[in-house]
Amino acid sequence: MLIHIEDVFVAYGSPPRAVLAGINLEIQEGEFVCVLGQTGCGKSTLLRLILGSEHPMRGRILVDGREHRQPDRTRGYVPQKYSLFPDKTVLDNITFGCEVSEFGLFGHLTPTFYRRRRQLRAEAFEYLHRIGLRECDAKKYPDQLSGGMQQRVAIAQALMTKPRILLMDEAFSALDPGTRRGMQQLVRDLWKATGTTILFVTHNTDEALRLGTRVIVLARESADQGSRIAMDLSVPAPCGDAEIPSLVRRLEVVSESCAL
Amino acid sequence: MSVGFLLIHARPQRAWATILSWFLFAGGIAAYLWVAQARHRENPEDRVTPTIAQMATGMYNAVMQPAEEDEAAPPAAGFYDRLSHSMLWKDTRATSRRFLLSLALLFPAVLLGLHMGLFPYVGAFFLRFVLFFDKIVALSLLPILFIAFGIDELSKVMLIVIGVTPTIILDSFNLTRGVPPEQIVKAFTLGAGDFDVAYRVVLKQVAPRVLNSIRLNLKAVMLFLFAGEMIASTDGLAYRIALVRRHMGMDVIIPYVLWVALLLFLVDLGMRTINRRLHPWFHEA
């Protein structure tokens, strides 16, 4: 069991208003889980709990059998915005994770650093090809790339450190539909190739069904109660275009009927 | 189709824009010359508005002759020898030294702001105090500084530090807080430690904005420096201006004021160029 979530409760604000209540979830190694729900239902909160940047008020979250107090290398992260470091080139962004975790603050003063950096750069170029960027993009700064390209680099950056789990928070929500379809294909291919467990948060039902092997719907039963898992759907094979409209309708009924 | 030439949609040609931008300079100089001439016609001994020739002589003496309080240069001294013992060089060197020392002392202020913004305990410890300190009118502390530190270099540098550091600390604090939390979380998930996040992610991102904030505060640095020099000093550009004022030496004061403005402009230009070279990714909003 890679992720084990046990009776988690989270509330925000004063007076506290429940966001998540009684969440129980188990995620196996190698699953591609999409978390679906309407705005404000706590799907990003759930992701931040697994990330370790927030902590539950009750219950516990075990990743790889351990509770984590802060984000670390086992869990990669691709947010919707600000996913790349603006002061580093594409190549430096991709190699940053390995450089920073292998060498300390003054590590670049040692000759081994430069030897290792050559290896890392070669590896980064491989990722660059895999995500569909050209060699000449390596020297660019993030704001010289389109939104879709930036998210591609962000995925490569997160995969470079080989995390056990990749957490993606509305990673494609700022992209236009055409770019989005290409990105979904890319993530699906990378997931197959690397076998990384992926937890993907989205509010787009269509996207969730195309990506995941499992779709979890979060929804509130009433306005003053926290969200629970309203549906846990297994999608063993990627959905064909024909099945999607009916499934989308089914899931949206669940997600909307609860949000009253 | 014509657009009114003073309206928002007017598009002046480059040449016109350039001419217009120099217009006030030309007008100011012309007005000065006119006033100076008129006053000199009435009273050839006028000291308030020296003519260009008088200012040139005053400046030549400042550049080539030692200050009144120093020994006269030997008549055989060469050009560079005279220049390096001149009044202007002596004053500029003294002021620059204090100025650069103060700039160097702003560096720890940036680091303190960074740590306050990132580490909650550091922020809790310093923030309220710095906010309070920021509200103290630094010039009102001047007498206290002279009493406590004496009238030598330390009190002048302390005045600048007390006057400018709180602003720089609070600025870097706010810039640090402005870094999106996603960036910090991302860095941790890539394996960075706390100090990697502080120096390799956040500091590098805020550096160009911090440099700009220091550039904006250069004037404040100069202001406090001049206040200190005018009141208690034996050399420096502001000391000279205050000294020469006693016998209405406008022929030295006006060139000195322009020289200070030029120096400050060059420092600002230098910092802007360095900023652009060091941070090619940064685009000023």
Q: Does A171 touch chain B if contact means CB atoms closer than 8 Å?
A: no
Residues of A in contact with B178 (CB under 8 A): none
Closest CA to B193 of A136, A97, A132, A246: A97
- pLDDT, residue B67, reads 80
Rounded average pLDDT over A1-22: 88
Find which of A49, A96, A155, A164 to mutate to test the B interface (most B CBs within 10 Å of its CB): A96
Gap from A39 CA to chain B (nearest CA, Å): 19
- pLDDT, residue A242, reads 67
Residue boundaries of the structural domains of chain A = 1-74+164-260, 84-162
Q: Does A70 touch chain B if contact means CB atoms closer than 8 Å?
A: yes
Measured from the Cβ of residue B130, the count of other Cβ atoms closer than 10 Å reads: 19
> Are the beta carbons of A100 and B192 separated by less than 8 Å?
yes
The CATH superfamily label for domain B84-278 reads: MetI-like (1.10.3720.10)
Q: What is the pLDDT of chain A when averaged over all its residues?
A: 87
- pLDDT, residue B25, reads 95
- Beta strand spans in B36-112 (E): none
Rounded average pLDDT over A221-227: 81
Of A61-70, A125-134, A208-217, A244-253, minimum mean pLDDT range: A244-253
Gap from B21 CA to chain A (nearest CA, Å): 33
What is the SS3 assignment for chain A? CCEEEEEEEEEECCCCEEEEEEEEEEECCCCEEEEECCCCCCHHHHHHHHHCCCCCCEEEEEECCECCCCCCCCEEEECCCCCCCCCCCHHHHHHHHHHHHHCCCCHHHCHHHHHHHHHHHHHHHHHHHHCCCCHHHHHCCHHHCCHHHHHHHHHHHHHHCCCCEEEEECCCCCCCHHHHHHHHHHHHHHHHHHCCEEEEEECCHHHHHHHCCEEEEEEECCCCCCEEEEEEEECCCCCCCCCHHHHHHHHHHHHHHHCC
Q: Does A79 touch chain B if contact means CB atoms closer than 8 Å?
A: yes
Residues of A in contact with B199 (CB under 8 A): 105
Whether A122 contacts A58, CB under 8 Å: no
The CATH superfamily label for domain A1-74+164-260 reads: P-loop containing nucleotide triphosphate hydrolases (3.40.50.300)
Q: Is the model's pLDDT at A23 over the cut of 80?
A: yes
> Are the beta carbons of A83 and B186 separated by less than 8 Å?
yes
Tens digits of residue pLDDT in A43-65: 899 999 999 999 999 999 999 88
Q: Does A105 touch chain B if contact means CB atoms closer than 8 Å?
A: yes
Gap from B233 CA to chain A (nearest CA, Å): 43
Of A250-259, B152-161, B192-201, minimum mean pLDDT range: A250-259
Q: Is the model's pLDDT at A259 over the cut of 60?
A: no
Q: Does A83 touch chain B if contact means CB atoms closer than 8 Å?
A: yes
Residues of B in contact with A76 (CB under 8 A): 189-190
- pLDDT, residue B3, reads 61
- DSSP assigned state of B107: H
Gap from A222 CA to chain B (nearest CA, Å): 31
Residues of B in contact with A83 (CB under 8 A): 182, 186
**Per-residue confidence band for A238, with pLDDT thresholds at 50, 70 and 90:** low
Find which of A100, A166, A168, A173 to mutate to test the B interface (most B CBs within 10 Å of its CB): A100
Q: Does B211 touch chain A if contact means CB atoms closer than 8 Å?
A: no
Q: Is the model's pLDDT at B139 over the cut of 90?
A: no
B227 to each of A198, B138, B231, B267, how far by Cα in Å? 63, 11, 6, 20
Residue type for position A243:
E
How many residue contacts between A and B have a Cβ separation below 8 Å?
80
Of A76-90, B14-28, B77-91, B236-250, minimum mean pLDDT range: B77-91
Q: How would you classify the pairing of strands A58-63 and A197-202?
A: unpaired
Q: Is the model's pLDDT at B92 over the cut of 90?
A: yes
> Are the beta carbons of A79 and B185 separated by less than 8 Å?
yes
Of B15-24, B64-73, B260-269, minimum mean pLDDT range: B64-73
Gap from B189 CA to chain A (nearest CA, Å): 4
Of B181-195, B236-250, B269-283, minimum mean pLDDT range: B236-250
Residues of B in contact with A82 (CB under 8 A): 180, 182-183, 186
Q: Is the model's pLDDT at B188 over the cut of 60?
A: yes
Residue boundaries of the structural domains of chain B = 14-49, 84-278
- pLDDT, residue B2, reads 60
Tens digits of residue pLDDT in A103-117: 888 888 888 899 999
Residue type for position A218:
L
Nearest to A85 among B185, B191, B201 (CB): B201
**Per-residue confidence band for B118, with pLDDT thresholds at 50, 70 and 90:** very high
- pLDDT, residue A234, reads 84
- pLDDT, residue A89, reads 94
- pLDDT, residue B158, reads 85
- pLDDT, residue A260, reads 46
Residues of A in contact with B187 (CB under 8 A): 85, 96, 100
> Are the beta carbons of A143 and B281 separated by less than 8 Å?
yes
Gap from B197 CA to chain A (nearest CA, Å): 9
Q: How would you classify the pairing of strands A3-12 and A165-169?
A: unpaired
Q: Is the model's pLDDT at B163 over the cut of 80?
A: yes
Rounded average pLDDT over A225-245: 77
Nearest to A100 among B183, B200, B279 (CB): B200
Tens digits of residue pLDDT in A150-206: 999 999 999 999 999 999 999 888 888 888 888 888 899 889 988 899 999 998 888
Q: Is the model's pLDDT at A244 over the cut of 80?
A: no
pTM metric for this prediction: 0.87
